[in-house]
Protein backbone atom coordinates (compact mmCIF):
# COMPACT_ATOMS: atom_id res chain seq x y z
CA UNK A 1 0.00 0.00 0.00
CA UNK A 2 2.74 2.42 1.00
CA UNK A 3 4.63 1.92 -2.25
CA UNK A 4 1.50 2.60 -4.22
CA UNK A 5 0.91 5.77 -2.27
CA UNK A 6 4.40 6.92 -3.05
CA UNK A 7 4.09 6.22 -6.74
CA UNK A 8 0.79 8.08 -6.66
CA UNK A 9 2.51 11.02 -5.03
CA UNK A 10 5.30 11.03 -7.54
CA UNK A 11 2.83 11.02 -10.37
CA UNK A 12 0.70 13.73 -8.83
CA UNK A 13 3.70 15.99 -8.61
CA UNK A 14 4.64 15.43 -12.23
CA UNK A 15 1.16 15.98 -13.52
CA UNK A 16 1.16 19.68 -12.87
CA UNK A 17 4.39 20.03 -14.79
CA UNK A 18 3.55 18.03 -17.83
CA UNK A 19 -0.11 18.75 -18.35
CA UNK A 20 0.60 21.74 -20.53
CA UNK A 21 3.11 20.16 -22.82
CA UNK A 22 1.07 17.55 -24.64
CA UNK A 23 0.12 17.96 -28.26
CA UNK A 24 1.05 16.68 -31.67
CA UNK A 25 4.10 17.56 -33.68
CA UNK A 26 3.41 19.63 -36.73
CA UNK A 27 6.46 18.70 -38.74
CA UNK A 28 4.40 17.98 -41.80
CA UNK A 29 2.90 21.45 -42.03
CA UNK A 30 6.26 22.99 -41.16
CA UNK A 31 8.09 21.59 -44.13
CA UNK A 32 5.26 22.24 -46.57
CA UNK A 33 5.43 25.97 -46.04
CA UNK A 34 9.09 26.72 -46.69
CA UNK A 35 9.65 29.87 -48.74
CA UNK A 36 6.74 31.97 -49.91
CA UNK A 37 3.58 29.95 -49.41
CA UNK A 38 1.17 29.49 -52.24
CA UNK A 39 -1.66 31.83 -51.49
CA UNK A 40 -4.90 31.17 -53.31
CA UNK A 41 -8.36 32.39 -52.35
CA UNK A 42 -10.55 29.77 -50.67
CA UNK A 43 -13.93 28.91 -52.09
CA UNK A 44 -16.98 29.48 -49.94
CA UNK A 45 -17.35 31.27 -46.62
CA UNK A 46 -14.36 31.38 -44.31
CA UNK A 47 -14.02 31.90 -40.57
CA UNK A 48 -10.73 33.26 -39.27
CA UNK A 49 -9.50 33.39 -35.69
CA UNK A 50 -7.49 36.40 -34.56
CA UNK A 51 -5.77 37.05 -31.23
CA UNK A 52 -4.83 40.57 -30.19
CA UNK A 53 -4.51 42.67 -27.04
CA UNK A 54 -5.31 46.10 -28.55
CA UNK A 55 -7.92 47.81 -26.38
CA UNK A 56 -11.19 47.95 -28.32
CA UNK A 57 -10.10 45.60 -31.13
CA UNK A 58 -13.50 43.86 -30.98
CA UNK A 59 -15.20 47.01 -32.24
CA UNK A 60 -12.81 47.32 -35.17
CA UNK A 61 -13.36 43.70 -36.17
CA UNK A 62 -17.14 44.20 -35.93
CA UNK A 63 -16.90 46.75 -38.77
CA UNK A 64 -15.08 44.21 -40.97
CA UNK A 65 -17.51 41.41 -40.16
CA UNK A 66 -20.49 43.58 -41.08
CA UNK A 67 -18.98 44.23 -44.50
CA UNK A 68 -17.60 40.79 -45.25
CA UNK A 69 -20.21 38.13 -44.58
CA UNK A 70 -18.02 35.52 -46.31
CA UNK A 71 -14.88 36.20 -44.27
CA UNK A 72 -15.92 36.32 -40.63
CA UNK A 73 -13.22 37.09 -38.10
CA UNK A 74 -13.51 35.83 -34.54
CA UNK A 75 -11.40 37.91 -32.24
CA UNK A 76 -9.90 36.75 -28.98
CA UNK A 77 -8.22 39.11 -26.56
CA UNK A 78 -5.54 38.40 -23.97
CA UNK A 79 -2.70 39.96 -22.01
CA UNK A 80 0.03 41.83 -23.90
CA UNK A 81 2.57 39.73 -25.77
CA UNK A 82 5.34 39.31 -23.23
CA UNK A 83 2.69 39.22 -20.51
CA UNK A 84 1.47 35.83 -21.69
CA UNK A 85 0.07 35.93 -25.20
CA UNK A 86 3.37 35.00 -26.86
CA UNK A 87 3.66 32.03 -24.52
CA UNK A 88 0.15 31.00 -25.61
CA UNK A 89 1.09 31.38 -29.27
CA UNK A 90 4.20 29.22 -28.84
CA UNK A 91 2.18 26.57 -27.02
CA UNK A 92 -0.57 26.68 -29.64
CA UNK A 93 2.00 26.36 -32.44
CA UNK A 94 3.54 23.39 -30.69
CA UNK A 95 0.12 21.83 -30.30
CA UNK A 96 -0.82 22.63 -33.90
CA UNK A 97 -3.86 24.76 -33.06
CA UNK A 98 -2.64 28.34 -33.42
CA UNK A 99 -5.16 30.96 -34.54
CA UNK A 100 -5.10 32.14 -38.15
CA UNK A 101 -3.90 35.61 -37.24
CA UNK A 102 -2.12 37.08 -34.27
CA UNK A 103 -0.72 40.37 -33.09
CA UNK A 104 3.08 40.19 -32.82
CA UNK A 105 5.33 43.11 -31.97
CA UNK A 106 8.30 43.74 -34.25
CA UNK A 107 10.76 42.67 -31.55
CA UNK A 108 9.07 39.26 -31.28
CA UNK A 109 8.78 38.51 -35.00
CA UNK A 110 12.28 36.95 -35.22
CA UNK A 111 11.40 34.62 -32.31
CA UNK A 112 8.34 33.36 -34.13
CA UNK A 113 10.18 33.08 -37.41
CA UNK A 114 12.99 31.08 -35.85
CA UNK A 115 10.38 28.72 -34.38
CA UNK A 116 8.94 28.36 -37.87
CA UNK A 117 5.60 29.68 -36.67
CA UNK A 118 4.78 32.20 -39.39
CA UNK A 119 3.40 32.00 -42.91
CA UNK A 120 5.44 33.90 -45.47
CA UNK A 121 2.91 36.22 -47.08
CA UNK A 122 5.13 37.35 -49.96
CA UNK A 123 3.02 35.24 -52.34
CA UNK A 124 -0.27 36.73 -51.14
CA UNK A 125 -1.49 39.30 -53.63
CA UNK A 126 -3.24 41.56 -51.11
CA UNK A 127 0.05 41.89 -49.24
CA UNK A 128 2.46 42.29 -52.13
CA UNK A 129 0.15 44.93 -53.66
CA UNK A 130 0.18 46.95 -50.46
CA UNK A 131 3.92 46.94 -49.89
CA UNK A 132 4.49 50.53 -51.00
CA UNK A 133 1.92 51.87 -48.58
CA UNK A 134 4.06 51.16 -45.52
CA UNK A 135 6.78 53.23 -43.94
CA UNK A 136 10.12 51.75 -45.02
CA UNK A 137 11.52 50.81 -41.62
CA UNK A 138 8.31 49.04 -40.55
CA UNK A 139 8.36 47.04 -43.79
CA UNK A 140 11.98 46.24 -43.05
CA UNK A 141 10.94 44.83 -39.67
CA UNK A 142 8.44 42.39 -41.19
CA UNK A 143 10.55 41.41 -44.22
CA UNK A 144 13.88 41.20 -42.33
CA UNK A 145 15.32 43.12 -45.26
CA UNK A 146 14.92 40.03 -47.46
CA UNK A 147 13.29 39.74 -50.86
CA UNK A 148 10.25 37.48 -51.11
CA UNK A 149 9.81 37.50 -47.38
CA UNK A 150 6.88 39.10 -45.54
CA UNK A 151 6.17 37.63 -42.14
CA UNK A 152 3.49 40.04 -41.02
CA UNK A 153 1.63 43.17 -42.00
CA UNK A 154 2.90 46.27 -40.18
CA UNK A 155 0.22 47.67 -37.91
CA UNK A 156 1.57 50.58 -35.94
CA UNK A 157 4.81 52.10 -34.85
CA UNK A 158 5.86 53.42 -31.48
CA UNK A 159 7.83 56.61 -32.02
CA UNK A 160 8.85 57.95 -28.63
CA UNK A 161 8.48 61.38 -27.10
CA UNK A 162 8.42 63.00 -23.69
CA UNK A 163 5.10 63.00 -21.84
CA UNK A 164 5.29 65.59 -19.06
CA UNK A 165 3.11 67.19 -16.41
CA UNK A 166 2.83 70.66 -17.89
CA UNK A 167 1.09 72.06 -14.80
CA UNK A 168 3.77 70.86 -12.37
CA UNK A 169 6.66 72.04 -14.53
CA UNK A 170 5.05 75.47 -14.87
CA UNK A 171 4.24 75.74 -11.18
CA UNK A 172 7.81 74.87 -10.21
CA UNK A 173 9.21 77.20 -12.87
CA UNK A 174 11.26 74.46 -14.51
CA UNK A 175 11.67 74.63 -18.30
CA UNK A 176 10.86 71.47 -20.24
CA UNK A 177 14.13 69.57 -20.91
CA UNK A 178 15.31 69.30 -24.51
CA UNK A 179 18.53 67.40 -23.86
CA UNK A 180 19.33 64.49 -21.55
CA UNK A 181 21.72 66.76 -19.70
CA UNK A 182 18.89 69.17 -18.92
CA UNK A 183 16.68 66.24 -18.04
CA UNK A 184 19.16 65.07 -15.38
CA UNK A 185 19.52 68.61 -14.06
CA UNK A 186 15.73 68.96 -13.90
CA UNK A 187 15.57 65.67 -12.01
CA UNK A 188 17.33 67.38 -9.10
CA UNK A 189 14.90 70.31 -9.15
CA UNK A 190 11.87 68.03 -9.38
CA UNK A 191 13.14 66.02 -6.42
CA UNK A 192 13.47 69.27 -4.47
CA UNK A 193 9.86 70.07 -5.39
CA UNK A 194 8.78 66.76 -3.88
CA UNK A 195 8.41 64.56 -6.95
CA UNK A 196 10.41 62.32 -9.24
CA UNK A 197 11.31 63.27 -12.79
CA UNK A 198 10.11 59.84 -13.87
CA UNK A 199 9.65 56.27 -12.80
CA UNK A 200 12.45 54.06 -14.09
CA UNK A 201 10.91 50.88 -15.41
CA UNK A 202 12.62 47.75 -14.18
CA UNK A 203 10.84 45.44 -16.59
CA UNK A 204 10.27 47.40 -19.80
CA UNK A 205 13.52 46.40 -21.42
CA UNK A 206 12.00 47.28 -24.78
CA UNK A 207 11.62 50.85 -23.54
CA UNK A 208 15.29 50.82 -22.60
CA UNK A 209 16.02 49.44 -26.06
CA UNK A 210 14.17 52.44 -27.48
CA UNK A 211 16.41 54.76 -25.45
CA UNK A 212 19.51 52.89 -26.66
CA UNK A 213 18.10 52.92 -30.20
CA UNK A 214 17.86 56.72 -30.05
CA UNK A 215 21.48 56.95 -28.88
CA UNK A 216 22.59 54.80 -31.83
CA UNK A 217 22.87 51.40 -30.11
CA UNK A 218 22.65 48.12 -32.02
CA UNK A 219 21.94 44.99 -30.05
CA UNK A 220 21.77 42.31 -32.72
CA UNK A 221 22.94 41.80 -36.22
CA UNK A 222 22.48 38.90 -38.56
CA UNK A 223 24.75 38.34 -41.54
CA UNK A 224 22.72 35.38 -42.80
CA UNK A 225 24.99 32.73 -41.33
CA UNK A 226 25.46 33.97 -37.77
CA UNK A 227 23.95 36.26 -35.16
CA UNK A 228 26.03 38.82 -33.34
CA UNK A 229 24.87 39.87 -29.89
CA UNK A 230 26.14 43.05 -28.27
CA UNK A 231 24.33 44.85 -25.46
CA UNK A 232 27.45 46.69 -24.44
CA UNK A 233 28.23 48.93 -27.38
CA UNK A 234 29.22 52.52 -26.69
CA UNK A 235 25.75 54.00 -27.13
CA UNK A 236 23.99 51.44 -24.94
CA UNK A 237 26.64 51.78 -22.23
CA UNK A 238 26.19 55.54 -22.28
CA UNK A 239 22.44 55.19 -21.79
CA UNK A 240 22.88 52.56 -19.06
CA UNK A 241 25.35 54.72 -17.14
CA UNK A 242 23.08 57.74 -17.47
CA UNK A 243 20.08 55.99 -15.90
CA UNK A 244 22.22 54.17 -13.35
CA UNK A 245 23.39 57.56 -12.16
CA UNK A 246 19.80 58.78 -11.70
CA UNK A 247 18.94 55.54 -9.87
CA UNK A 248 21.97 55.78 -7.59
CA UNK A 249 21.13 59.39 -6.71
CA UNK A 250 17.53 58.36 -6.08
CA UNK A 251 16.26 60.94 -8.55
CA UNK A 252 13.88 58.47 -10.17
CA UNK A 253 11.32 56.25 -8.50
CA UNK A 254 11.25 52.53 -9.21
CA UNK A 255 7.66 51.42 -8.81
CA UNK A 256 7.09 48.17 -10.74
CA UNK A 257 5.44 49.25 -14.01
CA UNK A 258 1.98 48.32 -15.23
CA UNK A 259 0.70 47.74 -11.70
CA UNK A 260 -2.07 49.52 -9.85
CA UNK A 261 0.64 51.03 -7.70
CA UNK A 262 2.31 52.47 -10.78
CA UNK A 263 -0.97 53.94 -12.03
CA UNK A 264 -1.50 55.42 -8.60
CA UNK A 265 1.98 56.99 -8.60
CA UNK A 266 1.15 58.79 -11.86
CA UNK A 267 -2.38 59.57 -10.78
CA UNK A 268 -1.09 61.24 -7.61
CA UNK A 269 1.52 63.21 -9.53
CA UNK A 270 4.57 61.54 -7.99
CA UNK A 271 6.25 61.08 -11.36
CA UNK A 272 6.40 64.12 -13.63
CA UNK A 273 7.45 62.68 -16.97
CA UNK A 274 7.39 59.48 -18.95
CA UNK A 275 9.57 58.92 -22.00
CA UNK A 276 7.24 56.68 -23.91
CA UNK A 277 5.78 55.74 -27.24
CA UNK A 278 2.73 57.20 -28.90
CA UNK A 279 0.47 54.42 -27.57
CA UNK A 280 1.55 55.46 -24.08
CA UNK A 281 -0.95 58.31 -24.46
CA UNK A 282 -3.61 55.68 -23.86
CA UNK A 283 -1.78 54.15 -20.86
CA UNK A 284 -1.70 57.52 -19.11
CA UNK A 285 -5.28 58.49 -19.83
CA UNK A 286 -6.61 55.12 -18.66
CA UNK A 287 -4.19 54.71 -15.73
CA UNK A 288 -4.17 58.24 -14.36
CA UNK A 289 -7.64 59.64 -15.12
CA UNK A 290 -7.42 62.29 -12.39
CA UNK A 291 -4.62 64.08 -14.26
CA UNK A 292 -6.75 64.87 -17.31
CA UNK A 293 -5.76 68.12 -19.00
CA UNK A 294 -2.49 68.39 -17.08
CA UNK A 295 -0.20 66.50 -19.46
CA UNK A 296 1.58 67.65 -22.59
CA UNK A 297 3.95 66.07 -25.08
CA UNK A 298 7.39 67.31 -26.17
CA UNK A 299 10.04 65.72 -28.38
CA UNK A 300 12.36 63.23 -26.74
CA UNK A 301 15.37 64.82 -24.99
CA UNK A 302 18.48 64.69 -27.18
CA UNK A 303 22.05 63.58 -26.52
CA UNK A 304 23.39 66.60 -28.39
CA UNK A 305 21.70 69.98 -28.21
CA UNK A 306 19.72 70.64 -31.38
CA UNK A 307 19.83 66.95 -32.37
CA UNK A 308 16.88 65.32 -34.05
CA UNK A 309 16.73 61.61 -33.30
CA UNK A 310 13.96 59.59 -31.73
CA UNK A 311 13.69 56.07 -30.41
CA UNK A 312 10.95 53.58 -30.97
CA UNK A 313 9.15 51.47 -28.41
CA UNK A 314 6.83 48.75 -29.60
CA UNK A 315 4.70 48.72 -32.65
CA UNK A 316 3.01 45.57 -33.81
CA UNK A 317 2.36 43.59 -36.90
CA UNK A 318 -0.52 41.34 -37.79
CA UNK A 319 0.97 37.96 -38.65
CA UNK A 320 -0.54 34.84 -40.18
CA UNK A 321 0.48 31.72 -38.30
CA UNK A 322 1.80 28.61 -39.91
CA UNK A 323 -0.99 26.14 -40.37
CA UNK A 324 -3.65 28.70 -41.28
CA UNK A 325 -5.80 27.21 -44.01
CA UNK A 326 -6.81 30.59 -45.38
CA UNK A 327 -3.69 32.75 -45.79
CA UNK A 328 -5.28 34.71 -48.66
CA UNK A 329 -8.35 35.79 -46.69
CA UNK A 330 -6.23 36.32 -43.59
CA UNK A 331 -3.96 38.70 -45.46
CA UNK A 332 -6.98 40.48 -46.93
CA UNK A 333 -8.19 41.15 -43.41
CA UNK A 334 -4.72 42.13 -42.15
CA UNK A 335 -4.31 44.62 -44.97
CA UNK A 336 -7.75 46.13 -44.34
CA UNK A 337 -7.05 46.36 -40.61
CA UNK A 338 -3.78 48.18 -41.13
CA UNK A 339 -4.30 50.35 -44.20
CA UNK A 340 -7.98 51.28 -44.50
CA UNK A 341 -8.92 54.68 -43.21
CA UNK A 342 -11.90 53.41 -41.23
CA UNK A 343 -9.86 50.77 -39.37
CA UNK A 344 -6.89 53.07 -38.71
CA UNK A 345 -9.19 55.81 -37.43
CA UNK A 346 -10.92 53.39 -35.07
CA UNK A 347 -7.61 51.93 -33.86
CA UNK A 348 -6.41 55.42 -33.12
CA UNK A 349 -9.61 56.38 -31.29
CA UNK A 350 -9.66 53.21 -29.19
CA UNK A 351 -5.98 52.66 -28.50
CA UNK A 352 -4.08 55.76 -29.72
CA UNK A 353 -2.27 53.59 -32.28
CA UNK A 354 -0.11 55.42 -34.75
CA UNK A 355 -0.40 53.84 -38.20
CA UNK A 356 2.54 52.25 -39.97
CA UNK A 357 1.38 53.50 -43.37
CA UNK A 358 2.90 56.47 -45.17
CA UNK A 359 -0.45 58.19 -45.53
CA UNK A 360 -1.53 57.25 -42.02
CA UNK A 361 -0.04 60.39 -40.59
CA UNK A 362 -2.56 62.51 -42.46
CA UNK A 363 -5.62 60.77 -41.03
CA UNK A 364 -8.21 63.29 -39.94
CA UNK A 365 -8.24 61.75 -36.47
CA UNK A 366 -4.54 62.49 -36.03
CA UNK A 367 -4.82 66.20 -36.69
CA UNK A 368 -7.27 66.77 -33.85
CA UNK A 369 -6.31 68.10 -30.44
CA UNK A 370 -6.57 65.58 -27.62
CA UNK A 371 -8.54 66.77 -24.58
CA UNK A 372 -6.60 64.68 -22.07
CA UNK A 373 -3.45 66.51 -23.18
CA UNK A 374 -4.99 69.95 -22.78
CA UNK A 375 -6.17 70.00 -26.37
CA UNK A 376 -2.61 69.69 -27.70
CA UNK A 377 -2.26 68.17 -31.17
CA UNK A 378 0.01 65.49 -29.76
CA UNK A 379 0.24 63.44 -32.94
CA UNK A 380 2.18 66.22 -34.64
CA UNK A 381 5.01 65.53 -32.22
CA UNK A 382 4.87 61.80 -32.90
CA UNK A 383 4.62 62.28 -36.66
CA UNK A 384 7.86 64.26 -36.46
CA UNK A 385 9.43 61.58 -34.21
CA UNK A 386 8.37 58.83 -36.62
CA UNK A 387 10.59 60.36 -39.29
CA UNK A 388 13.51 60.59 -36.85
CA UNK A 389 13.71 56.92 -35.93
CA UNK A 390 16.79 55.27 -37.43
CA UNK A 391 15.57 52.37 -39.58
CA UNK A 392 18.24 49.76 -38.97
CA UNK A 393 17.59 48.35 -35.50
CA UNK A 394 17.52 44.55 -35.58
CA UNK A 395 15.86 42.33 -33.00
CA UNK A 396 17.17 38.95 -31.91
CA UNK A 397 15.36 35.63 -32.10
CA UNK A 398 14.90 35.08 -28.34
CA UNK A 399 13.76 38.47 -27.09
CA UNK A 400 11.37 37.04 -24.49
CA UNK A 401 14.22 35.47 -22.58
CA UNK A 402 16.58 38.38 -23.22
CA UNK A 403 13.96 40.68 -21.68
CA UNK A 404 13.46 38.31 -18.76
CA UNK A 405 17.17 38.11 -17.88
CA UNK A 406 17.79 41.80 -18.44
CA UNK A 407 14.76 42.59 -16.31
CA UNK A 408 16.04 40.33 -13.50
CA UNK A 409 19.21 42.43 -13.56
CA UNK A 410 17.36 45.77 -13.81
CA UNK A 411 15.25 44.74 -10.81
CA UNK A 412 18.41 44.00 -8.87
CA UNK A 413 19.85 47.37 -9.92
CA UNK A 414 16.85 49.36 -8.70
CA UNK A 415 16.95 47.49 -5.40
CA UNK A 416 20.58 48.53 -5.01
CA UNK A 417 22.52 45.38 -5.91
CA UNK A 418 24.42 45.56 -9.17
CA UNK A 419 24.10 48.09 -11.97
CA UNK A 420 22.27 48.36 -15.26
CA UNK A 421 25.62 47.71 -16.94
CA UNK A 422 25.99 44.42 -15.03
CA UNK A 423 22.46 43.48 -16.03
CA UNK A 424 23.16 44.05 -19.73
CA UNK A 425 26.36 42.05 -19.54
CA UNK A 426 24.54 39.15 -17.91
CA UNK A 427 21.68 39.38 -20.39
CA UNK A 428 24.19 39.19 -23.24
CA UNK A 429 25.80 36.04 -21.85
CA UNK A 430 22.48 34.34 -21.23
CA UNK A 431 21.15 35.33 -24.65
CA UNK A 432 24.19 33.76 -26.31
CA UNK A 433 23.68 30.61 -24.19
CA UNK A 434 20.05 30.51 -25.20
CA UNK A 435 20.85 30.81 -28.88
CA UNK A 436 23.37 28.02 -28.60
CA UNK A 437 21.00 25.76 -26.71
CA UNK A 438 18.65 26.04 -29.66
CA UNK A 439 21.38 25.49 -32.24
CA UNK A 440 21.02 29.03 -33.55
CA UNK A 441 24.45 30.03 -34.88
CA UNK A 442 25.98 32.90 -32.96
CA UNK A 443 29.34 34.67 -33.12
CA UNK A 444 31.15 34.81 -29.81
Site for another protein, rule CB under 8 A: 2, 6, 9-22, 25, 30-31, 34, 86-87, 90-91, 94, 110, 113-116, 144, 202, 222, 224-227, 254-256, 258-261, 264-265, 397-398, 400-401, 404-405, 407-408, 411-412, 414-415, 417, 434, 437-441
- 43 or 225, CB closer to another protein? 225
With beta carbons less than 8 A apart as the criterion, state whether 199 and 373 touch.
no
> Minimum CB separation from another protein for residue 12, in Å?
7
d(CA 442, CA 444): 6
DSSP 111-168: HHHHTT-B--GGG-HHHHHHGGGB-HHHHHHHHTT-TT---SEE-EE-BEEEEEEHHH
d(CA 46, CA 101): 13
> Minimum CB separation from another protein for residue 19, in Å?
6
DSSP 108: G
> Minimum CB separation from another protein for residue 424, in Å?
16
- 185 or 440, CB closer to another protein? 440
With beta carbons less than 8 A apart as the criterion, state whether 310 and 388 touch.
yes
d(CA 364, CA 366): 5
> Minimum CB separation from another protein for residue 59, in Å?
28
H/E element holding 89? Answer: helix 85-95
DSSP 226-284: -EEE-S-SHHHHHHHHHHHHHHHTT-SB-PPTTSHHHHHHHHTT-B-EEEEETTHHHHH
- 186 or 204, CB closer to another protein? 204
> Minimum CB separation from another protein for residue 343, in Å?
30
d(CA 404, CA 70): 42
> Minimum CB separation from another protein for residue 110, in Å?
8
Q: Would you call 31 exposed, middle or buried from its count of C-beta atoms within 10 A (0-12, 13-18, 19+)? A: exposed
d(CA 270, CA 250): 13
> Minimum CB separation from another protein for residue 15, in Å?
6
- 130 or 254, CB closer to another protein? 254
Sign of the dihedral through C-alpha 167, 173, 175, 177: negative
H/E element holding 354? Answer: strand 354-355
Q: What are phi and psi for residue 159, nearest 5 degrees?
A: -60, 140
d(CA 123, CA 147): 11
- 43 or 437, CB closer to another protein? 437
> Minimum CB separation from another protein for residue 94, in Å?
6
> Minimum CB separation from another protein for residue 87, in Å?
4
Nearest to 348 by CA among 60, 133, 51: 60
From first CA to last CA, the distance across the chain in angstroms is 55
> Minimum CB separation from another protein for residue 168, in Å?
18
- 94 or 165, CB closer to another protein? 94
- 3 or 305, CB closer to another protein? 3
- 109 or 239, CB closer to another protein? 109
Strand partners, 357: 134
- 29 or 178, CB closer to another protein? 29
- 261 or 371, CB closer to another protein? 261
> Minimum CB separation from another protein for residue 93, in Å?
8
- 144 or 303, CB closer to another protein? 144
Amino acid sequence: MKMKAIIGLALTSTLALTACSSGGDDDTTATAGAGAASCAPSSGPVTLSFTSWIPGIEDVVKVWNAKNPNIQVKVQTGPNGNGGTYQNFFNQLKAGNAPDLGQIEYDALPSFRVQDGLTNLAGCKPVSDAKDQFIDWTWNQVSFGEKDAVYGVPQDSGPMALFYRKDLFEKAGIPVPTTWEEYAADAVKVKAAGGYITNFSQSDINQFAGLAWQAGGHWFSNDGSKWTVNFQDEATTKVANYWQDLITKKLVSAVPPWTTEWDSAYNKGQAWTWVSAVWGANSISSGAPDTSGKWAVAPMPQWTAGGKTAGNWGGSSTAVFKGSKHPYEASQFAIWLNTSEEALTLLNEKANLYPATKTGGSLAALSKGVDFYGGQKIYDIFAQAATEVTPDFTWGPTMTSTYATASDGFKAAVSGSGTLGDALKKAQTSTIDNLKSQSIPVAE
